Each structure stands twice: as structure tokens, then as C-alpha cells.
Structure 1
Amino acid sequence: MKTKVLLVEDDSDFGLILKQYLELSNFEVSWFQNPADVVEILDSDFSFNIGILDIMMPNIDGFSLAKIILKEKPNFPLLFLSAKNQKIDRLTGLKIGADDYISKPCDPEELILRIKNILKRVSPATLESHFKIGTYTLEAEKLLLTHPNEKVRLTIREKELLLYLLKQNNQTIKRDDILNQLWETNDYFTGRSLDVFISRIRKYFRHDEQIKIQSIRGVGFEIDFPV
């Protein structure tokens, strides 16, 4: 069965090229030029495996569309496309819950690789089971972090990072090791992306003071998860 891709791109030339390349790479692509049309099918015909959203679109921009989709489909994997390479765009997309981000014009082969990496992370074969972390429970297959006072729905990237931190518990972890393992690069933007994810994970664990993710300047992080 082919992977079903939701492509939302208002540029007719770029959208057509991207759709054709994805189809040549054995993906089934539904291409929408109007984001409002995607909103209309959320309650009925929304059977996609991953979404690729352009950011700069009329009426409904990619960030707004992502919020609408994730409200209804909180586990849905998303990748943003943007003609801009500004830090604010990248960080905004990650805060919303995107799994990845690529700037236009993009290398189609790189895009295919990023899509496959995201899908690999959400594949049932790669999902872990239950973990106790202090007073929290992580249900990785459901992307759910539970505390008696709160339930948090994780993004795929958050779950991936949290599982990596768990495996390195009670150790000092180098930033470069995390970036190379999870992002497969360690440039400025991915480094800032890591900071966003670490900040969010710290916030999720705010109900248990024993759980510590301490930053070590110039090195990385020291992890203490009571398990």
C-alpha cells in the first residue's frame, strides 16, 4: 500500500513538480492549493499518513492550518515548506508541533529522505511501550505522557527525543550527539530546534521536581530521570 501524502502548496508550478516527484517515488499524493479545502475534509476523508504544508499561503497560512489539523488529528506527522529561512519561521513551526522543516527551493531527494525518516519514527515496528518516569507514565505508542494532574500529547519528535534521553539516563549527553543521532546534522537552526524541544520537555515534567534536565554550557545536558 502506498503512503498517502497531503500536500498543501498554493504555487501551481512548484506544487506540480513536487507532486510528480513524490508520485515517481511511489507516494500517493493529494495536492491542495487552497488550505480551506483541507479544513473541509478533516471530519470525513482525511486518511493521509503525513502532511507537507507550505507556510506562506493566502487566507490560511501553513501555521494556522497546522493548528487546525493537529487539534483534530494530534498525532498527525507534519513537515513545513517555506521560501524563507528565517529563525522565527523554523521555531514557530516546531512550537506548533511540526516534525520537520525544509526551506524552498528544496532538494527533492532530501525531502523524500526526511519524509521516510518521519514515517520510520511513527511506524508501529519502531514504537516502544510503557515507561515510568518519576510520577509520570510515558505511553510511547500513543504519544501520551501522563501525570495525575495532567495529560500531554507529544509530537513524534518530542517522543523520539524523550526516549533518547531515557536511554542516556544519569549521564551527561553532548549536544552534538543528540543532533547527529536525531536530526542527522548539527547546524545553527537544528541546535535552536533542540533548545525548543528541551524547553518543552522540561515544562511537561514540571509536576515532579526530582526530574532534572540540566544544561551544561558548552557541553550539553545532564539527565536525571527517577525510574
Structure 2
Amino acid sequence: MEQPSTPDATPSRGLVMIVEDERAIADVERLYLSQAGFGVHVEPTGEGALERVRSLRPVAVVLDVGLPGIDGIEVCRRMRTQEDWTPIIFVTARDEEVDMLLGLELGADDYMTKPFSPRELVTRLKTVLRRSTGAPGSGVLRVGSVTLDRGSRTVSIDGSAVELTAREFDVLAFLMASPGRVFSREQLLSSVWGQASYAGGRTVDVHIAQLRSKLGDDSPIRTLRGVGYSVDGGRT
């Protein structure tokens, strides 16, 4: 069995953990991520990933779904249950919608199906990290009792923090920036995901459902059946 790697030295963009039991795939991912300026640590098992994510504190996790023992879905579930919101990109050989939707429901930030271009992985990772770190001084939005700070990338309800994934935050921020305006699923995919070609309408629906669950009765998100989503100051 492949042994856990030693993290690459002096990463300029931070450390990425690759959780992958197929060595050839892990080696290619490591090569491209290293060339892009990331430090890389490889774990071949879910058990090892859960141990090392706490000690290494990576900036992101590239997580294979089909791992031996504890699979990637369970790794993600345990991380989110422990309030670990490290960005996660799922990688799987199973081209099934149920896998993608389950991963998104658990709080994954993106999803790729094998085979994929390693350059696309780097691009997706950079995009996820930009969303999770944000830019200072980008403004505060308030709709009803929900406050969203785009600079610190935080959301609160009457002062109480609400934990969102990077993608959930971006969906909410996009809607709150234009209260009352209705956006179709296609518009949300294009504006928030940036690549409507690889995601479907169900992806948007899953993220909206997760946001509503986390915001509870204070959720300002409205559905206009057959058209799309918007926010206002009232309840859903």
C-alpha cells in the first residue's frame, strides 16, 4: 500500500491534502498542484486523512470518493460534523448524480468526475480558495435579520454566526446583492459556479436547500416556481 507522503516544502499558496489510494492519479495531481505553487500531502486512506487534516490544517482537500475503509463521503461528513470547513473538492470515478448531490449536501465545495484534466483541477482549486478567503473591504449586506460580510466572508443572524461552505456563501452573497431580483438556475450556475457546462440545475437546488436549512426561519430566500430564486426581507 502506498505510504503517506511528506508534505512538500515551502508552499507559496498553502498546503493541499490529496486523499487518493491510486498512486498514479495522486502523483499526477501532486505534480500539477506543486507546479502551481501549492504544497502537497498525500494520504491513501480516509482514516489517515481524518488524522492528518487536524494536524496539518491544509488550505483545501482533494478527496477521492472511492477510498478503502472509510470512503470520501464519510470523511467529508465527519469533517463537517466536527465543524471543519476546510474546502473540499470531491473526485470520483462514479459518474452518478446521486454521488454528486450527496457530496454537495454534506458540504463539499466542488465535484469532479474521473477522468479529468489536472489543469482543470488546479483551476477549480484556485477558484474554491478565492471564494473561501474572499477580498477585504468588499462590503456588508443585510436582508432581514441576515447579515453577510463579504470581506470576512461571515454570515450571522441577529449577531449569531452561521457556518457556510465557500460555495453556499457565494450563492447567498450573489442573491443578497440584488434583493428582489429573480435569478434562474442557469444564471446562478454561470455567475456563481462560472462553468455552467459541468453542473446541472439540481446542483443549485441542493445549495439553496442547504442554505435554507442553515438559516432556518430567518432565511430570506424565495422560490418563484418555474423561474428561479431571489431574496427579500421576509421569510421563505
TM-score normalised by length of structure 2: 0.83
Q: What is the total number of aligned residue pairs between the two structures?
A: 222
Q: Secondary structure at the match of 1:173?
A: coil
Query: Per-residue CA shift, 1:131-189, capped at 9, x if unaligned?
Result: 432123335525443358x7531111111000000112111223222111111233484
| Aligned position for 1:41 | 52
Distance 1:23 1:205, change over 3 A: closer
In 1, Cα distance between the equivalents of 2:176 and 2:112?
A: 28
2:228 matched to which residue of 1?
220
Give matches, 1:60-209, under 5 Å.
60-125=70-135, 128=138, 130-140=140-150, 141=152, 143-147=154-158, 152-187=162-197, 189-208=199-218
Q: What amino acid is aligned across from residue 215 of structure 1 in structure 2?
A: L
Shift in alpha-carbon separation, 1:164–1:41, aligned structure 2, 3 A: same
Q: Which amino acid aligns with 1:223?
A: V
Change (3 A) 1:22 1:188: closer
Q: Any stretches of 5+ residues in structure 2 without a counterpart?
A: 1-11
Superposition RMSD in Å: 2.4
TM-score norm. by structure 1 comes to 0.86
Range with greater deviation from structure 2 (135-144 or 112-121): 135-144
Instruction: Please say if residues 93 and 115 of structure 2, whose CA atoms lie closer than 8 Å, have aligned partners that are also in contact.
Output: yes
1:188 to 1:152, Cα distance in 2 relative to 1, 3 A: same
Q: Which amino acid aligns with 1:7?
A: I
State the 1:59 CA deviation: 0.7
Contact 2:223 2:230 in 1 (8 A): yes
- Aligned position for 2:23: 12
One-letter amino acid of the counterpart of residue 10, structure 1:
D
Shift of 1:23: 1.4
- Give the superposition deviation at 1:2: 3.1
Q: Which secondary structure does the structure 1 equivalent of 2:56 belong to?
A: coil
Aligned partners of 1:166 and 1:225 also within 8 Å: no
In structure 1, how many angstroms separate the alpha carbons of the residues matched to 2:16 and 2:168?
Answer: 22
SS in 1 for 2:68: coil
Q: Secondary structure at the match of 1:31?
A: strand
Partner-residue secondary structure (3-state), 1:41: helix
> What SS is found at the alignment partner of 2:187?
helix
Distance 1:175 1:205, change over 3 A: same
Mark the runs of 5 or more structure 1 residues left unpaired by the alignment. Answer: none
Contact 1:120 1:126 in 2 (8 A): no
Are 1:30 and 2:38 an aligned pair? no
CA distance in 2: counterparts of 1:134 and 1:84, whole angstroms: 41
